[in-house]
Amino acid sequence: MGRCDCSDDNLTEVTISSEILYSGRVFDCELRQVMLPDGKEASREVIKHNGGCCVLPIDDDLNCYMVKQYRTAVGKVYLEAPAGKIEKGESPEECVAREITEETGFTASDIEAVGTAAATPGYCSEIIYLYLARGLEYKGTHPDSGEFISIHKVPLKELLDMADSGKIEDAKTQVLIYKAARRLLIGTER
């Protein structure tokens, strides 16, 4: 049946062997043979990813600075909080400071870590570090080569409505909007 009334320790799978099937610039694909808690073996396909950061820049009037960009994997333009992958040897804090400026042109005097999110833990190791950024000062954008984005100033209350209605589909952005609303007491009367 695959279910048990076990402690977390008794739910852990043990890797028996692993093989890298693909190694790329952003992620590696690995095939793992694992021992299940019941002693049987199974195969797991895992995408190994360095992780990323996502930040919601918020000004003193509770406007947020979002980006729109085309996402090839889903074939459409998404409205998202600025985000990017953590480079090898880079800390999440270094990544978030870099991404704010690259994508929105702002620096922030107050960057608050508000948690992490496992993007798709069923097959991918990517952990996204989540931040709110305040004390914004505009310095000018520096997008990565090949990155085409547009910046949009949207009130936090409107973003909350967009997340609730499904107009914002990006999960990391939804989580940040809800965390910001909860911290700043917007929409908590619902």
Q: Are 92 and 129 in contact (CB under 8 A)?
A: yes
DSSP category for residue 144: P
Residue 70 lies in a domain: yes
Dist. CA 61–CA 108, nearest whole Å: 15
Full residue range of the structural domain in which residue 123 is found: 52-183
117 domain residue, yes or no: yes
Domain co-membership, 139 together with 84: yes
Question: HSE (CB half, 13 Å, CA atoms) of 38?
Answer: 7
Residues 122 and 156 reside in one and the same domain: yes
28 and 90 inside one domain: no
Q: Are residues 72 and 40 in the same domain?
A: no
User: With bands split at pLDDT 50, 70 and 90, how would you rate the model's confidence at 145?
Assistant: confident
Q: Residue 125: inside a domain, yes or no?
A: yes
Indicate if 28 and 109 belong to the same structural domain: no
Give the domain-ending residue among 33, 49, 65: 49
pLDDT at 190: 46
189 in a structural domain? no
Task: For residue 82, give the nearest of 61, 58, 60 by alpha carbon.
Answer: 58
Ramachandran class of 179: left when φ > 0, alpha when ψ lies in -120 to 50, beta otherwise: alpha
pLDDT at 11: 86
Task: State the average pLDDT over residues 111-136.
Answer: 95
172: helix, strand or coil:
helix
Q: Is 2 among the domain residues?
A: no
Q: Which of 167, 159, 104, 107 is nearest to 133 (CA)?
A: 107
φ and ψ of 138, to 5 deg: -80, 130
Q: Is residue 190 domain-resident?
A: no
Lowest mean pLDDT among 59-63, 111-115, 184-188: 184-188
Average pLDDT score over residue span 24-50: 93
